[in-house]
Amino acid sequence: MESSVSSEQVQQKVHQESEHTHDVQGTSLFGFIVFLLSESVIFLSFFAGYIALKTTTPDWLPPGVEGLETHDPLINTIVLVSSSFVIYFAEEALKKNKLTLFRLLWLLTSAMGIYFLVGQAIEWRGLPFGFTSGAFGGTFYLLTGFHGLHVLTGILLQFLMLARSFFPGNYTKGHTGVTEVSLFWHFVDVIWIILFCLIYVWQ
């Protein structure tokens, strides 16, 4: 058969070639950034929806609701934003191969994320309106809930990376997973800042 190839030949070639023509980690990171691009469109859509509803709905706030308390959410914001710096230093530590420092800072990030989530849960419990209280209630819980889901995902991914750091084999070829998780964390942070301005500052 003229169009056929011997399998030994292919096998050899595959292993010579695939290394340098396909930069697996670069592709993975790139794909992840592309994914974040589409995530940001979802958030942008929700933001656009929030603005549209807020500016066109006659009775924006449900009856009996004055507005939102901003003190606790502000503290929450500060904690979440600071965690972005912590995760940055964790990543730096890993690059310098200081594995213990990396694990400590990495755990600290997760702890700050958990603090944020718990704070938000407490806030939710105290609110005098629910998901079905008009357009305001709906968008409020939708936005904060969808963001909260991302924080939770981020924390779970952080635990995954932490567990992986105990299997050094995975850490020899760069740390794409860690870079991606911290990118995700920064992303979730930026989204929160916009969300905070939109919901809490612009009342």
Q: Which amino acid is at 133?
A: S
Q: Which is nearer to other proteins, 105 or 135 (CB)?
A: 135
Closer to other proteins by CB, 42 or 118: give it: 42
Q: Minimum distance between the CB of residue 6 and other proteins, rounded to whole angstroms?
A: 5
Q: Closer CB to other proteins, residue 67 or residue 97?
A: 67
Binding residues for other proteins (CB under 8 A): 1, 3-11, 13-14, 17-18, 21-23, 26-28, 30-31, 34-35, 37-39, 41-42, 44-46, 48-49, 52-53, 56-59, 131-132, 134-135, 137-139, 142
The per-residue DSSP string of 41-59 comes to: HHHHHHHHHHHHHHHH-SS
Phi-psi label, residue 125: left if phi above 0, alpha if psi -120 to 50, beta otherwise: alpha
Beta carbon of residue 20, minimum distance to other proteins (angstroms, whole number): 9
State phi, psi for 130 to the nearest 5 degrees. -120, -175
Nearer to other proteins, 106 or 184 (CB): 184
Nearer to other proteins, 87 or 147 (CB): 147
Minimum CB separation of residue 21 from other proteins in Å reads 5
Distance of CA 191 to the CA centre of its chain: 9
Report, in Å, the least distance between residue 37 CB and other proteins: 6
Cα 72 versus chain centre, distance = 21
User: Whole-number minimum distance, CB 113 to other proteins, in Å?
Assistant: 23
| Residues contacting residue 121 through CB under 8 Å, at least 6 positions apart | none
Taking the complex as a whole, how short is the minimal distance between the CB of residue 181 and other proteins, in angstroms?
Answer: 17
The b-or-e profile of 180-199 (16+ CB within 10 A means b, else e) is bbbbbbbbbbebbeebbebb
Residue number, 64 or 71, with CB nearest to other proteins: 64
CA–CA separation, 81 vs 185, rounded Å? 10
Question: Rounded to whole angstroms, how far apart are CA atoms 27 and 127?
Answer: 44
